[in-house]
Amino acid sequence: MENIKMNQAAVHLLEEWDPFHLGPDHYDTETADVVAALQGIDDPSTLAKIIQETYEHSFEQWIPFEDCVAISYKLIAIKFEAKCII
């Protein structure tokens, strides 16, 4: 159950992030890839690199690494919050 809530919260956060200002409906594939990566990653820098590569590959646009780090910290916070709720 905790994974479902974590995934929903992570998807919502990524939809709100909207790095290219295209609207929340344009990132389904990237969101799924990042949420899947989040399952096995606890390091914000590692996750940020995956976020940057995933979005840049799909949209062929550059995202500052600092932006990816900021969102990765929020995603990892969601992950750890979900683990703490029993």
Give per-residue pLDDT as tens, 8-63. 999 999 999 999 999 888 999 999 999 999 999 999 999 999 999 999 999 999 99
CATH class label, 1-84: mainly alpha
pLDDT at 2 over 80: no
Give per-residue pLDDT as tens, 62-86. 999 999 999 999 999 999 887 775 4
The DSSP 8-state label assigned to residue 63 in this structure reads: -
